[in-house]
Amino acid sequence: MASRRVVFRYPRHLIDVPVVSHLARNYDLEFNILRANITPQSEGVMVVGLEGSEENLRQGLAWARDQGVAVQPLERDVVRDEDKCTHCGACITICPTQALYRIAETQEVLFDSDRCIACELCVPACPPRAMQVKF
Ligand code: SF4
Ligand code: SF4
């Protein structure tokens, strides 16, 4: 089994296309919607965790792209500006998934994008605005 966390961007004319349920039904993928911001008037954005065989993931995401949905790995949309981070730790207790954590030996605060669910709680909590969610 393989897993991916991806951001789907739907142009307005695709808002009604049931992309995620099609992926589940036709490519045997399990899904977990982490965030969804879809309104009929504008572009929709959905953050989804997908799990299935490597081949089904590849084919399913290729199908979504063929429909016109922009598909991007979540780690490209949630980033930390390493030059701005002061390792103050203000984000650590706020982050619900421990994607931000401190290394005891060095006192550095690290960001593990694999654990991030794009909740955005760290963005306002970060004094120098080092955390960026780009959607
Ligand atoms: S709150 Fe911002 S500056 Fe402080 S450790 Fe977290 S990411 Fe770095
Ligand atoms: S967006 Fe949410 S899950 Fe990701 S690092 Fe920030 S607080 Fe943690």
The residue with greater pLDDT, 52 or 117, is 52
Query: What pLDDT, on the 0 to 100 scale, is given for residue 127?
Result: 97
Indicate if 69 and 8 belong to the same structural domain: yes
Quick: pLDDT tens for 66-81.
999 999 999 888 999 9
Number of the ligand closest to the Cα of 5: 2
Query: What pLDDT, on the 0 to 100 scale, is given for residue 102?
Result: 98
The residue with greater pLDDT, 92 or 42, is 92
Q: Are 52 and 1 in contact (CB under 8 A)?
A: yes
Quick: pLDDT tens for 29-80.
999 999 888 777 778 899 999 999 999 999 999 999 999 999 999 988 899 9
Q: Pocket of ligand 1, candidates 131, 132, 133: which has the most ligand atoms within 8 Å of its Cβ, to mutate?
A: 131
Query: What pLDDT, on the 0 to 100 scale, is given for residue 10?
Result: 86
Instruction: Quote the strand ranges of 63-130, DSSP E.
Output: 70-73, 78-80, 100-102, 109-111
Indicate if 43 and 85 belong to the same structural domain: no
- Structural domain of 34: 2-74
Whether this prediction's pTM lies above 0.75 is answered by: yes
Task: Identify the CATH number of the domain in which residue 102 sits.
Answer: 3.30.70.20
Q: What total of structural domains would you count in the chain?
A: 2
Q: Choose the final residue of a domain: 42, 59, 74.
A: 74
Cβ < 6 A, ligand 2 pocket:
78, 94-97, 99-100, 116-122, 131, 133
Could you identify the atom of ligand 1 that is nearest to the CA of residue 80? 7
Indicate if 118 and 56 belong to the same structural domain: no
Indicate if 112 and 65 belong to the same structural domain: no
Indicate if 16 and 65 belong to the same structural domain: yes
> For residue 131, what is the enclosing H or E element?
strand 131-133
Indicate if 97 and 112 belong to the same structural domain: yes
Indicate if 58 and 93 belong to the same structural domain: no
The residue whose C-alpha atom lies closest to atom 4 belonging to ligand 1 is 88
Indicate if 7 and 70 belong to the same structural domain: yes
> For residue 96, what is the enclosing H or E element?
none
The residue with greater pLDDT, 43 or 2, is 2
The residue whose C-alpha atom lies closest to atom 2 belonging to ligand 2 is 119
Q: Which residue is listed with tokens 């550095």?
A: 108
Residue 93 CA to ligand 2 center (angstroms) comes to 10
Q: Strand pairing partners for 71?
A: 8
The residue whose C-alpha atom lies closest to atom 8 belonging to ligand 1 is 85
* 101: number of Cβ within 10 Å: 17
